Structure 1
Amino acid sequence: MTNVETTIRRFDRVASGGERTGHDRAVAVEAPVAIEVNGLGYAVLMTTPGDLVDLAHGFALAERLVDSVDEVIEVSAHATDAGTLLRVTLVPERHDRVADRVRHRVSESSCGLCGIENLEQALRPLPSLHARSRADDAALFAAAAALRDHQPLAQATGATHAAALCSVDGAIRLVREDVGRHNAFDKLIGAMRRQGLDWDGGFALLSSRCSFELVEKAVLAGCPLLATVSAATTLALDRAAAAGLALRTLVRADAMLAS
């Protein structure tokens, strides 16, 4: 399955009496990907079906199923009529973690967050983040200005988010795209770990609002600074402050919010 399909017509507004013309336009693919971990059904994500191996590694880290990608033995993707089945095999020592999370996720999905045990699982304590970014404001503005050039799917479709690894001076080192902001970040983190890349005093830049899920993924990945082009939620701000994660939100060409 490709990341885009060309199935829609674009019509431009024309002056009165002018001729209306149509053009084919690319549409971002959004499709279900079922994640199976050590033989147990774990989650179904609605995602852009590219970079799925990166997604699996980043997702396993974000879900705290593993402590490092070295504990991921194998990832295999299998196309089905309904979508893609992503089979993830972890080292045997992590099977108990998987089984425990599956138990909690099943109870959560049955009736929402319906009990103190489920609420504690939804907002599990985060580790304290001691890493600090050395990037200044100029670096963040430079990265924000350059991000669009690194988003081919967004340029083609106008429907995907990007997550970027940025250096101390604001240069964009690596990008992953997806229709879901959380999936894009998982893909980036997974790709970094698989390629042996670290933050090196830089930061992450996402083309989305700053939600609490993104804060948690950043903290668990050891990201020293999370920047987003849209604003943060109250829970994101609270979770970031508790973990010691620096945030820059509403990043624009000449202004941003710091927390």
Structure 2
Amino acid sequence: MSAELIATSATSSQQAVIKRDAHLVQPVQDQVAEEVPIAMVYNGISYAVMLATPQDFEDFAVGFSLAEGIIHGLDEVYGIEVVRHDKGIEVHIALATERFHLLKERRRNLAGKTGCGLCGAESLDQAMRLPAQLAPQPVTSVLPPVASVAIDAAHHRIRELQPLQLLTGATHACAWVAPDGSICLVREDVGRHNALDKLIGARLRQAIQTPGFVLTTSRASYEMVQKVAAAGVAMLVAVSAPTGLAIRIAQQCGMTLIGFARNQQFVIYSGAERVQYKE
């Protein structure tokens, strides 16, 4: 990828475009979201490259490492350094020796893209990683019953907490939501998987102990369920649809999975016991 194509220091840029609105056609300036290659480098060895929004690098590194099963806790990360190059960004993560040895044993080259969760997996077993293989935390985190009105409130609130989406219309968001529907933390990215990694990492780095669930503005793919389960979180709420595989994995993990959560509606696919859906 040519260096002049990459803008590593901005999350959005201004572009001259031609806009048609009904019968009016005119040149205007538009804000577009940026995405750059971001390489995760562990103890000097490159492990994965994702196309992602160039922000929240430390959160991204920690969340990705946890979701991939590279670490089990923040204490296994000794340091994070962000290095910018003309063609992208390297995030250097210093791992504990034991974790790095395990990483080298199962290392795979992963060319990540914004819409793909399995790019670069070398085998079916590797692609279909169950949460128990990724992290020791079972999906048994304490979560008080969540009322339907709390899910409605979180969905209503999340839009105004997405500044990059409001500016460009091109990003996803993931939020950490308390049982009463209040939003504690939000991360955005052009890729839904990246936004989730950043949220998981931010929650871990900030030591947020508030019980709650994950709300995503995207669909609930298999890997989104996998990442939430690997973080030990008991509930994933998506504004769009889940896949069949995501539903089956959620059921196997004992996770609550909700889809189509919008306009005071939702569909519970797994773990209905955690939701107060009867008014």
> TM exceeds 0.5?
yes
Structure-1 separation of matches of 2:247 and 2:168: 31
2:229 to 204, 219, 222: 219
Partner of 1:169: 180
Partner of 1:246: 256
Q: Within the alignment, does 1:123 sit opposite 2:131 as a pair?
A: no
2:151 to 115, 122, 140: 140
Correspondences of 1:85-124 after superposition (within 5 Å): 85-102=90-107, 105-106=108-109, 118-124=123-129
Correspondences of 1:170-249 after superposition (within 5 Å): 170-200=181-211, 202-249=212-259
Partner of 1:158: 169
Q: Is the 8 A contact 2:18 2:25 kept in 1?
A: no
Structure-1 separation of matches of 2:18 and 2:59: 33
Gaps of 5+ in 2: 1-8, 113-118, 133-137, 270-279
2:80 partner SS:
strand
Distance 1:6 1:107, change over 3 A: closer
Equivalent AA in structure 2 for residue 136 of structure 1? A
Relative to structure 2, which stretch is displaced further, 152-161 or 20-29?
20-29
The TM-score with structure 2 as length reference comes to 0.84
Gaps of 5+ in 1: none
2:261 partner SS:
coil
How many angstroms does 1:107 deviate by? 9.6
Partner of 2:37: 32
Residue-pair matches, total:
249
Structure-1 separation of matches of 2:149 and 2:55: 32
How many angstroms does 1:28 deviate by? 0.4
Q: Is the 8 A contact 1:165 1:199 kept in 2?
A: no
- Aligned residues: percent identity? 38
Structure-2 separation of matches of 1:69 and 1:31: 26
1:87 partner SS:
strand
Structure-1 separation of matches of 2:95 and 2:47: 13
Partner of 2:10: 2
Q: Which has the higher strand share?
A: 2
How large is the Cα RMSD of the aligned pairs?
Answer: 2.0
Structure-1 separation of matches of 2:38 and 2:99: 22
Structure-2 separation of matches of 1:252 and 1:189: 23
For 1:205-227, what per-residue CA distance to the aligned partner results, in whole angstroms no more than 9, with x for missing partners?
00000011110111111112100
